[in-house]
Amino acid sequence: MKILTVAQMQALDRRTIVAAGIPGLTLMERAGTHVADLVREIRGSATDGLTTIVCGKGNNGGDGLVAARLLAKRGITVQVVLLHDPAGVTGDAKVMWLRWKKGSGPRATLISPTLDRLRSLLGKSLVVVDAILGTGLTSEVSGAYRAAIECMNECGRPIVAVDLPSGIHADTGAIMGVAVRATATVTLGHPKIGLFVGPGLDHAGIVRVGDIGIPASLSDQVPSALGLLSQTDIARLVPDRRASSHKGTFGHAAIIAGSIGKTGAAALAAKAALRVGTGLVSVATPSGVNATLEAKVLEVMTVPMPETKAHTLSRTGLDRLLTFVSSRTAAAIGPGLSTHPETVDLVQALIPRLEKPTVLDADALNALAGKTRLLGESKAPLVLTPHPGEMARLVDDATPESINADRIGTAQRLASARDVIVVLKGARTIVARPDGEAAICPMGNAGMATAGTGDVLTGMIAGLMAQRLSPWDAARVAVYLHGLAGDLAAAEMGQAGMIAGDLLDRIPKAISKTVGR
């Protein structure tokens, strides 16, 4: 699903109305329906309790008025707050105001309330809807709108934002003076970039995309190199499991990982490859830790390799490791390898000679610091999975802060410069490929910010490539399923205290939920 800029979305709306002949009122009605549906979902089974909808005077407010009318029809007590004189409402929003006024009467509307009155009302509400400002915001929020947003943020109630949280710049995610901190956002037509970058990410909450009926033929004509991973797209890519299948059908993943004290990283990657459906998984690891690894992974084969005195992989094992990879379908290198100088030298010698699709993670990426030219020498398609700290070591004059300030652009530039797939991990993981196309994952949560979850992702990508998905498809599928597994874990146990193993256990459920069986 394409992610669009404000200008692109506005142009698409106009084309939908003019070229496709779909009235703006119809688009607004559909938008409000999505908002009302999400409010009902958040309310759950509650039959009592007030829903307060705070409206501005533009189309965003019009969407909120539609939601108010629909919720009221369903028997939910609704209070609309207008932050302006109704005489200032124009266009389609004015029509929706008149429909709301006719159906619900003046008692259900509060116009330009005092701050004390607004605070009292919000405090009594079960759910609050932010329908104040839309995508056209270009200057800092001030006056009554600013005061209302501050009151909403203080109320302690779930907030549903219409299209994007009021006060967030739709193209940059910047806070324009002050911004609503939403529990969930219904973004309409197409998602907006500002929901997934900068402060917008923290303010958007859970993001839902509301289909307002824009014809696919019109959306397809809008040029955008940025997309949002969706269940529909991912479900088509997950490998089928036919009745006639056997373990060889689903490939053999080679994982080069582990060192003393870090066999857990190797075990997590190997188990993740199995959990995502790989038929066979073998791990090459230093001989001195092989027994420890074997005890952790009953379903995985291990191959002890020459080691240094520090029990890390030795440079003398290069030829054996090349043979190990060449006899498998796909590979992963890096989890728990260590940065021992001899192991770093081994990784640098290994990468140019790889011939099978390979994921490079963790210490394999650290070995490339200042040596990214080696990526261009590899015969194999490569997927890099850095977190911002590792990414900063791969990019000249970069810091984790500068990486996070331009996550999309940084991932796109490295993918293009080195002809690799880049998976830039973090809040809303980015997947980028050499031609400039990139995708953002809407799944995942802060509970996944814990040791080992990156190793799980590495194993999942390697396992999907072993099942013969292209590196681009394998990376997108793995990132989506990884995030969904994290969300399933968080829903069951909360985010605090989640561990990487919790994701492992929920990968099969994430696959089942995605493909619908």
- Averages of pLDDT over each 10 residues, the chain, 517 residues: 94 95 97 97 89 96 97 94 92 95 82 95 97 93 96 97 97 96 97 94 94 95 95 95 92 98 98 98 98 96 98 98 97 97 98 97 96 94 97 94 94 97 96 97 95 98 98 98 98 96 97 92
Bridge pairing between strands 421-424 and 430-432 = antiparallel
Fold classification of 6-224 is Rossmann fold (3.40.50)
Q: Where in the chain is the domain with CATH 3.40.1190.20?
A: 250-515
Q: Report how far residue 445's alpha carbon sits from residue 304's, in angstroms, rounded to the nearest whole number.
A: 36
3-class secondary structure, 107: helix
- Candidates 325, 373, 329; CA nearest to 353 is 325
Q: Where in the chain is the domain with CATH 3.40.50.10260?
A: 6-224
Q: What is the pTM of this model?
A: 0.93
Please check whether residue 60 is in contact with residue 163, taking contact to mean a CB–CB distance below 8 angstroms.
yes
11/183 Cα distance (integer angstroms): 29
Going by C-beta distance under 8 Å and a sequence separation of 6 or more, which residues neighbour residue 392? 398, 399, 400, 402, 403
> What are 365's two structure tokens?
């990426």
Length of the chain: 517
Instruction: Specify the pLDDT at position 104.
Output: 79
* Two tokens, residue 224: 């955008």
Give helix 453-466 / helix 263-275 axis angle, nearest 10°.
40
* The CATH number of the domain covering residues in 250-515: 3.40.1190.20
Q: pLDDT at position 410, please?
A: 96
